[in-house]
A and B are shown apart, each in its own frame.
Chain A
Amino acid sequence: MQISKSKKLEILWSLLLSRRFEEALTELCKIEGKIPGMMILCTGQEAVGAGVCAALQPEDVIITNHRSHSHLLAKGADPKALMAEIYGKRTGCNKGKSGTLHLAVPEVNAPCTTTVVGGGPPIAVGRAFAQQYREEKSVTVCFIGDGATNEGSFHEALNLASLWALPVIFVCENNLYAGAQRYEEHTKVPNIAERAAGYAMPGVVVDGNDALAVYTSACEARGRAVAGEGPTLIEYKTYRWRGHGESDLQLYQPQEEIAAWQAMCPIPKLRGDMLAQGLISVDELREMEHRIDAMVQEAIRFAEESPYPEPHEALEDVYA
């Protein structure tokens, strides 16, 4: 599959933006009282969000999870609104009701995000059903981790999606750990993608650190979905550099394993190829990085300067 220069630049931008955004969060969450609640990062896994969302159209929908920063940024969410939400500020995309864990950005068709592991697939089925019901040529992507595939809801959702040939793509980021449990400790089947066979849908295994391979596979799945050929389960093999959350000491992740996966970081791979092929110059790259850094700094400034919600605002938004 031929991938245009502009598409590669878009993917590189998403990768770098997500990484820079989370590098900032890694430091900010260490400051006492700065960021409420947990801090759950996708550092090292950005190629999945960047590659999948680059394959989508604005009208396509994503249902994501607690590890969502790269998905939402790649889908076009405003970093300022995300950062302010992560800070718990009134100007956040969800007025401080969500924080970092359940960031919903309906403006970019990310209408609801769930931290309940396995919560996403049934909702994605419903959202894709609406697309089919209205005969829209769009798809719903459901981002889940390897742990979610052991929830019953995942299996109910795959069966129904396949039965009704719904336009949904189940994107499983297999980052090798569900909480502190290594893949082999929670799942017997060697590849999650094999589970698709049980639902008579295609299941594919893809290198989740190769952003272009991610993009290509997502394009294929999207093509099938909008053609009425039903869902696909894509397993992206990747790795969680950080712990489950930032308070996780990662004692269960061998240092050499982390180092080995860091050596397979998705960013230098794509960046190096693009430089070598003359798709971007060193100066242009520096300029891109500069713009991203400014964007993240602006998001932080916006979040810092924004007011907290007033306590009584807690009572709003329960009912329409």
Chain B
Amino acid sequence: MQPLGMGQAINQALREEMRRNPDVFLAGEGIGVGIHDSPMLPTAGLLKDFGARRVKDTPVSEAAIAGLAVGAAVAGLRPVVEIMYNPFFTLASDMIVNHAAKLRYLSGGKSSFPLVVRMKTGAGFGAGCQHSHNLEAWVAHCPGLKVVMPSTPADAKGLLKSAIREPNPVVFIEDMMLYFVPGPVPAEEYQIPLGQAEIKRQGTDVTVVTWSKMLLVALKAADQMARENIELEIVDLRTLVPLDKETLLASVRKTGRLVVLHEATRTGGFAGEVAAVVMEEAFESLKAPLRRVTGPDIPVPVSPPLERFYIPSEEKLIMAVQEIL
């Protein structure tokens, strides 16, 4: 085990998959150059090590970057393209939503689009709402896409390796804050299949379903509550599509109580989908109404106290848990 930040773990995954398969190439704005050539960031050093044929620094053209991925993928290449920040997805979204996601279906299953779109996101950097905006629910709403949102460096590496080998388009959303949170990463070859949630902490009293950076909040809250003999079970979805209903429902059936925690804003957020699945399939197990702990329905503000107010905290999660105990 080696302690790495998530950016470094992703860097390893990219290197390993590029070495393994010559059809894998990277493209994006400033990938591996300038400010992005910093050791903690995912594309550091790749241009130098793999050359300009396979690491394509593109113009500031999100539609063209995403289209590059769609067209190269249908030819059988394995593009891994980067849309610098999740909010810029809007500029690339026609290519991803109308094309990457739908063209296989429209071809009657004849054409495939094995591509990965990586995007950074997450509040906490004072970058404001046009750089920090978690839009995972948008993409999860589009059949044809798979959606990954890792919470640990080890998961990010194993999931990205699976995503690159996937025959389907995958949207891979990375919280920037996690680039700077080291965690153990196995040195040997491994993959983590898409569609498998992981119980990051066993518990008996309340299930907390979460993903990405909010796992850290959930684990801290669980530590605090354990002092009061309240045991949270933390389910990290890791991939929203496909959704691992089995793990989710088994946990809810065990604890009988559910809080869904995500950083994204509340209305139309993916917590609603998780809640609906539980209501439809495990209603009889619920001992109390479920709760959502999410960002408020506001754009992410810049000023530190305002941004801190936006990001769901341990205190808010603990309050929600206490409400349903």
Contacts and interface: CB of A to CB of B under 8 A. Distances in A.
Interface of A: 61, 63, 92-98, 102, 104, 106, 111-114, 116, 118-119, 121-131, 133, 140, 152-153, 156-157, 159-160, 163-164, 316-320
B129 interface: no
Nearest to A319: B168
- Among all A-B residue pairs, the 6 with the closest Cβ atoms: A122-B67, A126-B71, A130-B75, A317-B109, A94-B108, A320-B167
Contacts of A152: 63
Contacts of B79: 126
A226 to B, nearest CB: 16
B289 interface: no
Given A114-B99, A127-B72, A320 B58 contact: no
A137 B99 CA distance: 26
Nearest to A132: B53
A126 B78 CA distance: 11
Interface in B89-146: 94-95, 98-99, 103-112, 114, 143-144, 146
Interface string B142-156: 011010000000000
A63 B103 CA distance: 12
Given A104-B108, A112-B107, 4 more contacts: A116-B94, A130-B72, A159-B61, A163-B59
A128 B72 CA distance: 8
Task: Give chain B's interface residue range (CB within 8 Å of chain A).
Answer: 35 or more
Contacts of A125: 64, 67-68, 71
A123 B64 CA distance: 8
Nearest to B68: A126
B206 interface: no
Interface string B45-67: 00000000100101101111011
A318 B67 contact: no
A28 to B, nearest CB: 21
Contacts of B108: 92-98, 104, 317
B270 interface: no
Contact of B106 (A98, A126, A163, A319): A98
Contacts of B146: 319
Contact of A98 (B74, B95, B107): B107
B63 A156 contact: yes
A63 B106 CA distance: 14
B98 A111 contact: no
Given A123-B95, A320-B167, A97 B106 contact: yes
Nearest to A163: B59
Nearest to B98: A116
B271 interface: no
A122 B73 CA distance: 12
B23 to A, nearest CB: 8
B111 A126 contact: no
B71 A130 contact: yes
A193 B62 CA distance: 24
B77 interface: yes
Interface string B14-54: 00000000000100000000000000000000000000010
Contacts of A128: 71
A119 B143 contact: no
B94 A129 contact: no
Contacts of B59: 156, 159-160, 163
